[in-house]
Amino acid sequence: MPANTYGYIRVSTREQNEDRQRIALREAGVPEKNVCMDKQSGKDFNRPQYKRMLRKLKKDDLLYIKSIDRLGRNYEEILRQWRFLTKEKGVDIVVLDMPLLDTRRGKDLMGTFLSDIVLQVLSFVAENERSNIRQRQAEGIAAAKARGVRFGRPPLPMPENFYGVHQAWRAKKITLEQAASACNMPVGTFYGKARRFEKTE
């Protein structure tokens, strides 16, 4: 049977537009029916359309992706998947944004060596960028907190009977469950508020 050509598209969120990737695959000659797309994070390969595509791919088939970070964002996982596809399944891969990553060319030792080096560098860059985004988010949140910006829902005000119920609970007149119920709170919430109240006393 003749080899088939496939294309894989991934966007991180449902709001992101996949048109750029779809146009690039169409221009590369990938049939629309052979384009698989996932709308989710690239942190791992637990993606429904990617798994479906894996089941279809056969030896000597050709897989196109727009850029290496569309395959994934996790350095080790990208390398593992690349080797699984090329070595175990015998599939050729073409990364459109990086002509050096075309396994159809340079099947000799030097070509494979160069392809592996480029892949490792690009995979590292993709994961490094993901780490940098996380770090920038964390730094942004820390800076906002330092300016007094509060995150999450504001705490609910204490019920009017809290202090009396708290005293009764501490005096062992009622159980923790009864105290929480009297304040219309989950047990954990009542206990947490009680601990914080006692520390400020």
Active-site amino acid positions: 12
Q: How far apart are CA 39 and CA 42, in angstroms?
A: 9
- CB of 41 within 8 A of CB of 12? yes
CA torsion 90-93-99-103 (nearest 10°) is: 0
Q: What 3-state DSSP class applies to 160?
A: coil
Note whether 26 and 32 are within 8 A (CB): yes
- The two three-digit tokens of residue 59, written as one number: 């030896």
